């Protein structure tokens, strides 16, 4: 648990006049559950886009297993062991649920049959077995969220970037998702959870938490320290909307 799996160093990126990230640095260790919290627009999704290679930052570096991955194509980052989900779910609508998952499984499987077999197991694991052969466009929002996770798992990642996977879930579903993330950690898979609200769960599952506000990290530490950080309380926890 000592050597860092992911090192983010001074990442900055602007969209037109909006400085979405202004020098963000953090480290995630193997098997760790790291929560990235912050209000809507803080820059969580943008950071995930940078780490997964979808966006190229204006400045800064991202290292995975000691190697810089800035400028690498997204598929190479995925193959190296970083998987992500999308906050706004993006299923391959006209593919079956199994095929949605099989796409990611292809990086390990030599044949498409093998990939589909692996995919079926994962589909079962996330509880979508009854819908395995349906078109992904037939799924409900909650099911689509699970499909996002299933597709990411098919890559057998070392690091999973979960973008707002709690959003839109019922409280009991949220607890299920929290247990699921804890289970991943026990199997050695690190997770970075981008989460806007639901502080109760963040405090329960996270080994460490970073608080992002308007593109800057205003605090970083274990759940206890974060809860008592005056800057955090002021900027974030203090607002009544985050009680959930």
Partner 1 sequence: MKTALRIAAVVAIAALVFAPLRLNGYLLNLLYTTVLYVALAYGWNIISGYAGYFSFGQIAFFGIGAYATGLLVADQHWFWMVAALAGGIVACALAVPLGYVMLRLRGPFFAMGMFGMAQMVRVLVTAIPATGSGAGLFLPPGSSLTGVYYWTLAICLGAIALTLWIDRSAFGLRLQALREDEQVAGTLGVDVTRAKITAFSLSALIPGLLGGGYALFLTYIEPDAAFSSRLDLQSIVMAILGGVGTVWGPLVGGIVMTQVSEALWARFPQIYLMLFGGLLVALLLALPRGIVPAIASRWRAR
Ligand X SMILES: Nc1ncnc2c1ncn2[C@@H]1O[C@H](COP(=O)(O)OP(=O)(O)O)[C@@H](O)[C@H]1O
Q: Which residues bind Mg ion (CB under 5 A)?
A: 44-45, 87
Residue 219 binds ligand X, judged by CB under 6 A: no
Residue 77 binds partner 1, judged by CB under 8 A: yes
Q: Which of 8, 11, 26, 42 binds ligand X (CB under 6 A)?
A: 42
Closest CA to 31 of 175, 184, 178: 184
Contact 159/6 with Cβ under 8 angstroms?
yes
Please identify, using beta-carbon distances, which residue of 22 and 80 lies nearer to Mg ion.
22
Shortest Å, Cβ 215 to Mg ion: 13
Q: Which long-range contacts (CB under 8 A, 24 or more apart) does 12-20 make?
A: 12/57, 12/58, 12/59, 12/60, 13/46, 13/50, 13/55, 13/57, 13/58, 13/59, 14/58, 19/215, 20/46, 20/215
Residue 111 binds partner 1, judged by CB under 8 A: yes
Q: Which does 86 bind (CB under 5 to 8 A by kind): ligand X, partner 1, Mg ion, none?
A: partner 1
> How far is the CA of 46 from the CAs of 50, 78, 81, 136, 198, in angstroms?
6, 17, 19, 26, 20
Please identify, using beta-carbon distances, which residue of 52 and 185 lies nearer to partner 1.
52
- Count of C-beta atoms within a 10 Å radius of residue 201: 20
Q: Which does 181 bind (CB under 5 to 8 A by kind): Mg ion, ligand X, partner 1, none?
A: none
* Measured CA angle at 154 (ends 41, 199), to 5 deg: 35
Q: Which does 20 bind (CB under 5 to 8 A by kind): partner 1, ligand X, Mg ion, none?
A: ligand X
Residue 187 binds partner 1, judged by CB under 8 A: no
Query: What is the contact surface with partner 1 in residues (CB under 8 A)?
Result: 52-54, 73-75, 77-79, 83-84, 86, 90, 92-95, 99, 102-104, 106-107, 109, 111-112, 115, 151-152, 154-155
């Amino acid at each position: 648990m000592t050597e860092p799996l992911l090192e983010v160093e001074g990442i900055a990126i602007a969209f037109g006049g909006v400085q979405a990230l202004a020098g963000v640095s953090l480290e995630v260790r193997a098997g760790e559950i790291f929560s990235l919290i912050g209000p809507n627009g803080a820059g969580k999704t943008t950071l995930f886009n940078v780490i997964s290679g979808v966006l190229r930052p204006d400045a800064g570096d991202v290292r995975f297993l000691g190697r810089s991955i800035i400028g690498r194509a997204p598929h190479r980052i995925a193959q190296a062991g970083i998987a992500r989900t999308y906050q706004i779910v993006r299923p391959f609508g006209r593919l079956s649920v199994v095929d949605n998952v099989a796409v990611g499984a292809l990086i390990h499987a030599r044949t498409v049959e093998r990939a589909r077999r692996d995919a079926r197991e994962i589909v079962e694991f996330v509880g979508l077995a009854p819908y395995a052969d349906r078109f992904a466009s037939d799924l409900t929002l909650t099911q689509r969220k699970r499909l996002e996770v299933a597709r990411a798992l098919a890559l057998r990642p070392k690091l999973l970037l979960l973008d707002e996977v709690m959003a839109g879930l019922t409280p009991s579903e949220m607890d299920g998702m929290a247990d699921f993330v804890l289970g991943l950690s026990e199997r050695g898979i690190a997770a970075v959870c981008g989460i806007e609200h639901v502080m109760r769960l963040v405090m329960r599952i996270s080994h460490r938490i970073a608080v992002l506000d308007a593109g800057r990290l205003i605090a970083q530490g274990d759940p206890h320290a974060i809860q008592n950080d005056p800057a955090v309380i002021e900027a974030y926890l203090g607002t009544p909307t985050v009680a959930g």
